[in-house]
Amino acid sequence: MTFHEFISDRMGKIILEIIILAASSGVLFATGTQPGIITLLFVLICLIRITVLLIDFFKSRSHLMELENILSGLNQKYLFAECIPPQKTVYERKLFAIMRRSYKSMMEAVSDTEAARREYREYVESWVHEIKSPITAAKLICHGIDPEPRRRLTQELALIEAHVERALFYARAENPEKDFIIQEYNLEEIVSEAVQTYSTLLMQNNIRIETENLHHQIYTDSKWTCFILGQLLQNAARYTKSSKPDYKPRAFLYTQDSPVVTISAELPTKRQLILTVADNGIGIPAHELPRIFDRGFTGSNGRARGGSTGMGLYLCRKLSDSLGIGLQITSIEHEGTCAKLTFLTKM
């Protein structure tokens, strides 16, 4: 609080006191009091009042600074009303008693909301684990039917399984750091696990996987990193383009029209590794690139093909930020998309 703010807050009272003092001086003058005495009294009262204002200002500022220090020292700011020192005046005690009741009501509402969200999240996680059993049973049943219906059903079941897996990770993504196990992992093993998890979806879309220079160690959480890679692979499988005789790709150095995803790594520095996941799919329009990480954004490609939730890249961004992984995506429409993930190689 500045002195200007302090005076502005009390300006009405100060003006009233000046008016009263002037009126009192007029009364004294009218009753025959000598002007010198009136002037001396006027100056003396003004000095006393200014001194009182200064003392009040420094006390108020000191009290506010004390409260600010208490608040800044708290990890849980909502406990501020319980940690302030006892107030000196009746007005302040009454005011802070009202604040405490307000905070208590707010905390009860927050606790109820958190309990409801926790119950819902636990239900979603339970539902996801339960739904995996009928999905597995449906896959086994598919083996007993004709090849073409089996292929189509298996493809749809793979999509259902991918959506279910995304729902599970979304339920856990509210506080992902509680589930992190950051340690040294082999990059090639993580990539292989992600490819194996979505192998059915990749094969049904005739996507070839090419890997290069993945024999490195990185520091991350393997489960969540595998999930991020899985979302990128799902997008690559979803947004392939039909082969065209007259089509010759110009970006990302591909020489064939068949769908391909290239996963490679490079070491720009001794402490960093950049993992590149590039495809030769339909790409993303340039005007949509700034929004691809927005929650629920499907884009023109997602709306055209249907079934997109707009949650995959949103979760990738959220998890990569929590893990300290740099994530950048570039794309050229009708050419392909390239995602770069930056990891630490040494702690």
So what's the pLDDT on residue 108?
Answer: 83
Hey, what amino acid is at 185? Answer: Y
pLDDT value for 176: 65
What pLDDT does residue 253 have?
Answer: 41
pLDDT number for residue 329: 94
Longest pairwise C-alpha distance within the chain: 121
- At residue 329, φ and ψ (nearest 5 deg) are -130, 130
How would you classify residue 279: left for phi > 0, otherwise alpha for psi between -120 and 50, otherwise beta?
beta
Given this model, what pLDDT does residue 247 score? 38
Candidates 322, 346, 347; CA nearest to 178 is 322
- pLDDT score recorded for residue 249: 39
pLDDT value of residue 244 = 38
Ranges of residues in the chain whose predicted pLDDT is under 70: 78, 81, 173-179, 242-257, 305-307, 347
Domains of the chain: 3-106 (no CATH), 184-344 (3.30.565.10)
State the pairing for strand pair 326-332/272-279.
Answer: unpaired
Strands 208-212 and 260-266: parallel
Which pLDDT does position 174 carry in this prediction?
66
Q: Measuring CA to CA, how many Å separate 16 from each of 29, 241, 271, 321?
A: 20, 80, 70, 58
Q: How far apart are CA 335 and CA 105, in angstroms?
A: 56
Number of CB atoms found within 10 A of residue 293's CB: 17
| pLDDT at site 248 | 41
Model pLDDT for residues 5-31, shown as the tens digit of each residue: 888 888 888 888 888 888 888 888 888
